Structure 1
Amino acid sequence: MPNFLRNPTSTFKLLAAFLVISFYLILGGFSPIGPRIRKNPPFGAHIQFEGWKNNSGAADEAKADQVANAMRYTFWKYREYAWGYDGIKPVSGGNKTSRNGWGAFIVDTTTTLALMGLWDELALEVDHIIDSIDFNIAHGLVDPFETTIRYLGALVSLTDLLDAGIVPSSAINSTKRDAILAQAVTLANKLAPCFDSPTGMIWPRVNFTTDLGVPDPPLVYKLDPLKPRYKNPSIGPARAGSNILENRVLSRLTNNQVYLSNATRAWAPLVWSSYITSWPGMVDAPFDIVTGEPVGRQRHWDAGHDSYYEYLLKIALLAPKDRYTQTYKNKWLAAADSLRYRIASRSAPSPKHDTQHLFIGKQNDNWFINEQSHLACFAAGNIMLGGRYFDRPDFISLGKALLEACHHTYASTPTHIGPGIWSWIPKFGYDNATFQPSTARQEDELKEHGFWVADAKYRLRPEYVESLFYAYRITGEQRYRDWAWDAFVAFETHCKTPYGYAGLRDVMRKPRSVDLEEEALAQNEGEGWWIDESESFWGAETLKYLWLIFADKEVGSLDRWVYSTEGHPFRMIR
């Protein structure tokens, strides 16, 4: 028998100590103050703004309904003219197979319909996913990055939403829930050969017929003649490092750790790089898939690199107790500091306006590239999310400044929609900058706005409104709702077509007519205002984030859900 059970005095002392400690912990657990409670409340992370007053943060139902109506319009036009195809051609009414023919729009938009409560539309999509999609067969080579974020992410997220009761069982029953998860498992298993490289980094493509990972096809280089070729197949940080969230959730749902293990190994050469990099936290890229060696010296948070840094933070939020979470936290913090001090670039004031804006540039070897794409606007929200999570007010201020710069690009155009790429004159360090205005129009834009447009297209991209969502939920500031409404009105005015919503060829010009049918008749290649394409992220992200901004603050709360790079919510693990 243990000694403390033989000795009544020892037993009493032990019991008394236990009661005192328990009482202290209980009081601490319910205390309204203190860093432990602030960072680890029992329901998840502590991200969202707390100071909502006078019904602020409640739903703006009129605006939320209008965004939901845009989603309905998008869905039913696709249902009528392109059902089962990856996307619709919103100007001509045709269809498009661009994501292996599994119906990318159908799968990718399920979580948006679920959050909006559009049960009839969701039921049609779920039945198609279960009955009509065979993930064992693919049209063409499969891109594991795009397939993971659009297809696999949607399937596991929808399962999470069902398990959390967001979708009522009367809309989607448990049998269909299991069938959705089974489809996710089938797809993940077919994607498994992408991890079969010497380093574990993913192959850029998978051949579903031979079940082998393969390099990018020659067509990729033909379409982009400036894309460099290396001795071995190469890959960028975003493609290599943007599958851990989806696979971590799949491992939880299936209790099979192989998915998380593969995803962890896939980005290990980035997270635990054995090569010296110039800037803490940021990688040199692209990478040789065979050796893991950086074969380029590109460093930035823009297209091709973006979601690797995004996922360093979000995996820490999703699963804070996982084995490598502290490493991911440290890497993200270092990378965010490098963004702040190395590539964030304040613009010189324009001759007409004494205003400056903080844009995000890029570095290629010793050259600073004074150019930002619309995709990089995601960084504003990501930096604010990390600022809140790590209790770094300086990061929240940085995120606000970056978001104001993206807002400036929207507010400066005649359509009030931001361009695809823009450049500026850096206030400091211009000697190493790459670009200068090269046309009379760019000179005029620089004088008027403090930046000039390098790519005037808008392709229904979500990153600006995504960051508005994070900004509003984290700060509670009404101006972010106002900016989101301005963007939605602009999309409704200029992007709505007879068959859905289309991107714009030139955000610096307004269409000839506001009549949809009249403008569609005027549309022809090279002259029309619209781009005859509508990527699935329009429904999966752009409309989702707009709707969430106007929904009640508790819907899709950042205290409980982590959103993937494709806008799919995953439940936090605590």
Structure 2
Amino acid sequence: MAFQSQRSIPSSSPRSGLAGLGLSSKAGGIFHTERTLPMYKDKPYFQPRRTAPRRGWKRAFGVLGICTLGLFWFLYTSKDLSVVQVPESSAADKGAELWSWMQTLKDEKPVKKPDWNARREKVRDTLIVSFDGYEKNAWGYDEYSPISNRHRNMVEGGLGWMIVDSLDTMIIMNLTSQVRHARQWIATSLRYDQDHDISTFETTIRMLGGLLSAHYLSTQYPNLAPIADDDAGAAGEDLYIEKATDLGDRLMSAFDTPTGIPYSSVNLNTSKGLRSHADGGAASTAEATSVQLEFKYLAKLTGEAEYWRIVEKPMEAVDKQHPTDGLVPIYIHPDTGQFRGNNIRLGSRGDSYYEYLIKQYLQTSEEEPIYKEMWDESLRGIRKHLLAFSKNAQLLVLGERPNGLEGSLSPKMDHLACFMPGTIALGATGGQLLSEARKSSDWTQQREEEIFIARELMKTCWATYKKTATGLAPEISHFVFKDMPTMMGDKYPDPAASKGSAPHELRSISLPLEPLNDGSEPWRDDIDIHRMDRHNLQRPESIESLFYMYRITGDEMYREWGWEMFKSFIQHTAVVEKGIADADAPITGRIKSFTSLDNADAIPPNQRDNMESFWMAETLKYFYLLFSDRDFISLEDHVFNTEAHPLPRFKPSGELTTGWKRSIRTA
């Protein structure tokens, strides 16, 4: 039975709690877990009164004097709330330093023992410059054009798209001043009562995920970008979770459908779900099934089991269709639960369905084996139907089946699909270091093969970067197959079908990507970039997978590939302001921001004048984590949502449990 909305959200004032939602099912025993989590304190409906301190240094006496001093400080420092309180010219200096460094990149020589801390600081400087450009020219707006300095909101008043999405990146990078400015805007300007429809999926992964991750990091890692939230005029410690709950409550109405599959959009003011205006009203399968991590963690924090239950419905509805070999078409109807069309791919509208199968299993500390079962089934289907080798260099390609599994394999591969190498490696070891995972008694030939597939696909994604003039991948790559594509199963028979025979040898058959003197590398002829697909949107998927591959295998090669990618972003996506030369001084300049490209296969590239929010939320975050120590925001203790917002793993209890079972399959 579909969840029936029992609430209406008044438009006259923002919601600050759960009163009136009809969410009466507090999860019994929810706060008893084996993991230490920054739990939201169990007090009714998020009332603003504090009941317990967060930091031990608070004093019971002298409150009046401290508040008086705090009020004086607030009035003195907040004369212009649009100006971030950071040292003058700090970001400008960083921009000038990056520009000077950029001039040396063409002549940079390989080093045997790179200073990864120094490289990580370059990423941090890039984030500082990127955010500073946004602060100066588009503060509070949802979209930013860094070349023209234009900006716009997606809805009246804005949704905090750039600010909230990048907030946890700034916490992770320990940027206290920037976090303070962002938090101040969230406290005073962010609201979710606009009379406008917004994307259910995008708002969940970016805004809800961003707020939940900021709440988690600011409580679990108090030394990262610490803010004394008891200063007079500062927002209270419950700010992020209160905003997240308000937003989550409004998004819930999208799930009020006959099947529980959410509508593509929801009106924030009326709290009413809206069917897609395209595709016959069908929802994107990936979007409907990639909101679970966020709502499950919200359920864990608040104890409200309804958040958990509503996001299980789409998973059950998809599984009821008994997708062949676990591969799902990219559209599904919320009203009937039926798939629309037969297009199967792991690029747009298909990707994160598979990602959230394994991540739901890991998020709940492997307590929901139903999702692991679905993941394993899908991975076998991918191996059987979608993985093929290119004609000349035998690159492993993740193709598409636009006409269903009975149709031909398309050699098209979205950059979006490059999340898959890292996700496969994550599923194989659970985030453990590979050398440790292999010691486990449950390590199998199947898991070894998954690591092999992850390595080969990562190499293919890296090849799409090396193919272009800028060293940055296009949005879409096509590959050259033989007339009858060589499928992975043709080279490596499925170990599940071996019936006890000796395991086959797993070895790379793809040719090396090292350049030849005459530029005649065979792999280059295997990659075909179409004219309309040459743009680069600063996407994170390949660097995301490099982050996973390094953390799991320990292979420094993946860090080096990431460093090459990062340098290419600096060289070709930087928005530069140049000074005026005179007789006594050379031309100087500074980088003021970074932007997307219209053509990544030309030098100089045509810059697009758009900085996506995921540049700061995902791409730079994954670079920073790739160059950080392995234990920092560890894979063993966290899952990253599909917008790179880290959330903790936990053991569910009480009513937070898998509420459905798979139906019996027939041959």
CA distance in 2, matches of 1:445, 1:418: 18
1:246 corresponds to 2:323: no
CA distance in 1, matches of 2:595, 2:543: 17
The offset of 1:286, in angstroms, is 1.3
Question: Conserved in 2, the CA contact under 8 Å of 1:58 and 1:551?
Answer: no
Q: Indicate the residue corresponding to 2:622 in structure 1.
A: 545
Which stretch shifts more, 545-554 or 170-179? 170-179
The offset of 1:57, in angstroms, is 12
Q: Secondary structure at the match of 2:238?
A: helix
Question: Conserved in 1, the CA contact under 8 Å of 2:144 and 2:610?
Answer: yes
1:317 corresponds to 2:317: no
CA distance in 1, matches of 2:414, 2:225: 42
- The count of corresponding residues between Structure 1 and Structure 2 is 473
Question: Conserved in 2, the CA contact under 8 Å of 1:91 and 1:532?
Answer: yes
Gaps of 5+ in 1: 1-40, 45-55, 222-228, 350-354, 433-443, 513-528
1:134 corresponds to 2:191: yes
Paired residues for 1:288-303 under 5 Å: 288-303=333-348
Q: Indicate the residue corresponding to 2:255 in structure 1.
A: 195
Question: Conserved in 2, the CA contact under 8 Å of 1:63 and 1:550?
Answer: yes
Q: Indicate the residue corresponding to 1:20 in structure 2.
A: none
The offset of 1:431, in angstroms, is 11
The offset of 1:500, in angstroms, is 1.6
1:153 corresponds to 2:215: no
1:210 corresponds to 2:277: no
The offset of 1:173, in angstroms, is 3.2
1:475 to 553, 559, 564: 553
How has the CA–CA distance of structure 1 residues 511 and 336 changed in structure 2, closer, same or farther, with 3 Å as cutoff? same
Q: Deviations over 1:407-450 (max 9, x none)?
A: 01101211001111111122462499xxxxxxxxxxx9998431
Q: Deviations over 1:94-147 (max 9, x none)?
A: 113237721211000011011111111111111111211111225x31101000
Question: Conserved in 2, the CA contact under 8 Å of 1:248 and 1:260?
Answer: yes
Q: Indicate the residue corresponding to 2:491 in structure 1.
A: none
Paired residues for 1:439-458 under 5 Å: 448-454=524-530, 455-458=533-536
Aligned-residue identity in percent = 30
The offset of 1:211, in angstroms, is 2.1
* Letter aligned with residue 540 of structure 1: A
How has the CA–CA distance of structure 1 residues 198 and 167 changed in structure 2, closer, same or farther, with 3 Å as cutoff? farther
Q: Secondary structure at the match of 2:342?
A: strand
Question: Conserved in 2, the CA contact under 8 Å of 1:373 and 1:422?
Answer: yes
2:369 to 312, 326, 331: 326
The offset of 1:166, in angstroms, is 4.6
Question: Conserved in 2, the CA contact under 8 Å of 1:43 and 1:560?
Answer: no
The offset of 1:507, in angstroms, is 1.1
The offset of 1:345, in angstroms, is 1.7
The offset of 1:301, in angstroms, is 1.5
Question: Conserved in 1, the CA contact under 8 Å of 2:286 and 2:330?
Answer: no
Q: Indicate the residue corresponding to 1:277 in structure 2.
A: 323
Q: Secondary structure at the match of 1:416?
A: coil
Question: Conserved in 2, the CA contact under 8 Å of 1:237 and 1:304?
Answer: yes
CA distance in 2, matches of 1:445, 1:383: 28
The offset of 1:386, in angstroms, is 0.7
How has the CA–CA distance of structure 1 residues 301 and 99 changed in structure 2, closer, same or farther, with 3 Å as cutoff? farther
Q: Deviations over 1:173-229 (max 9, x none)?
A: 376330111000000111111011110100011122332111223xxx5xxxxxxx4
Larger helix proportion of the pair: 1
The offset of 1:69, in angstroms, is 0.2
Q: Indicate the residue corresponding to 1:76 in structure 2.
A: 132
2:381 to 338, 354, 379: 338
Q: Indicate the residue corresponding to 2:409 in structure 1.
A: 368
1:487 corresponds to 2:560: no
Question: Conserved in 2, the CA contact under 8 Å of 1:316 and 1:329?
Answer: yes
Q: Secondary structure at the match of 1:362?
A: coil
Q: Indicate the residue corresponding to 1:394 in structure 2.
A: 449
Q: Indicate the residue corresponding to 1:60 in structure 2.
A: 116
Q: Secondary structure at the match of 1:177?
A: coil
CA distance in 2, matches of 1:383, 1:289: 29
CA distance in 1, matches of 2:357, 2:113: 29
* Letter aligned with residue 211 of structure 2: L
CA distance in 2, matches of 1:127, 1:58: 38
Q: Deviations over 1:221-259 (max 9, x none)?
A: 5xxxxxxx43xx211221110111001111111111111
Which stretch shifts more, 379-388 or 446-455? 446-455
Q: Secondary structure at the match of 1:507?
A: coil
How has the CA–CA distance of structure 1 residues 335 and 102 changed in structure 2, closer, same or farther, with 3 Å as cutoff? same
The offset of 1:80, in angstroms, is 0.1
Superposition CA RMSD, Å:
2.5
Question: Conserved in 1, the CA contact under 8 Å of 2:35 and 2:650?
Answer: no
The offset of 1:303, in angstroms, is 1.1
1:89 corresponds to 2:145: yes
CA distance in 2, matches of 1:445, 1:211: 56
1:348 corresponds to 2:400: no
* Letter aligned with residue 476 of structure 2: I
How has the CA–CA distance of structure 1 residues 177 and 267 changed in structure 2, closer, same or farther, with 3 Å as cutoff? farther
CA distance in 1, matches of 2:311, 2:188: 29
The offset of 1:359, in angstroms, is 1.3
Q: Indicate the residue corresponding to 1:258 in structure 2.
A: 306
Q: Deviations over 1:271-290 (max 9, x none)?
A: x32x3433x22223411111
CA distance in 1, matches of 2:124, 2:349: 31
Q: Secondary structure at the match of 1:363?
A: coil
Q: Indicate the residue corresponding to 1:383 in structure 2.
A: 424
Q: Indicate the residue corresponding to 1:405 in structure 2.
A: 460
Q: Secondary structure at the match of 2:365?
A: coil
How has the CA–CA distance of structure 1 residues 68 and 131 changed in structure 2, closer, same or farther, with 3 Å as cutoff? same
Q: Indicate the residue corresponding to 2:477 in structure 1.
A: 422
How has the CA–CA distance of structure 1 residues 234 and 405 changed in structure 2, closer, same or farther, with 3 Å as cutoff? same
